């Protein structure tokens, strides 16, 4: 985002400038609205990734023989 010699103040100005540019390009009323939208998109992306992982795990579970598993664990409510 610039040279390694930039101070925190100059980095802050640069970040503010970039945020304002993004706000203007996206037709947002404020930088806060832009940041909220970015956070929503990031959260949705994370949820989609987690959902995909869960669906894959559920697909793996689909082939399990439940009756055999219950007997192995000794958790059957019906004693034979």
Instruction: In whole angstroms, give the CA distance from residue 80 to residue 77.
Output: 9
Helix, strand or coil for residue 35? Answer: helix
Q: 35: buried, middle or exposed (CB in 10 Å: 19+, 13-18, 0-12)? A: middle
pLDDT over 90 (residue 46): yes
Evaluate whether residue 32 is within a structural domain: yes
The residue segments making up the domain with residue 54 are 8-73
* The token pair that represents 80 in the structure block: 């034979």
At 8 the pLDDT is 72
Number of domains in the chain: 1
Q: What is the pLDDT of residues 25-38, one digit of tens each?
A: 999 999 999 999 99
Evaluate whether residue 1 is within a structural domain: no
């Amino acid at each position: 985002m610039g040279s390694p010699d930039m101070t925190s103040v100059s980095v802050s100005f640069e970040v503010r400038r970039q945020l304002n540019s993004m706000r203007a390009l996206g037709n947002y009323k404020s930088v806060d609205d832009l940041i909220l939208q970015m956070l929503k998109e990031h959260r949705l992306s994370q949820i989609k990734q987690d959902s995909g992982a869960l669906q894959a795990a559920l697909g793996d579970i689909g082939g399990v023989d439940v009756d055999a598993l219950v007997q192995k664990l000794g958790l059957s409510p019906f004693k034979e």
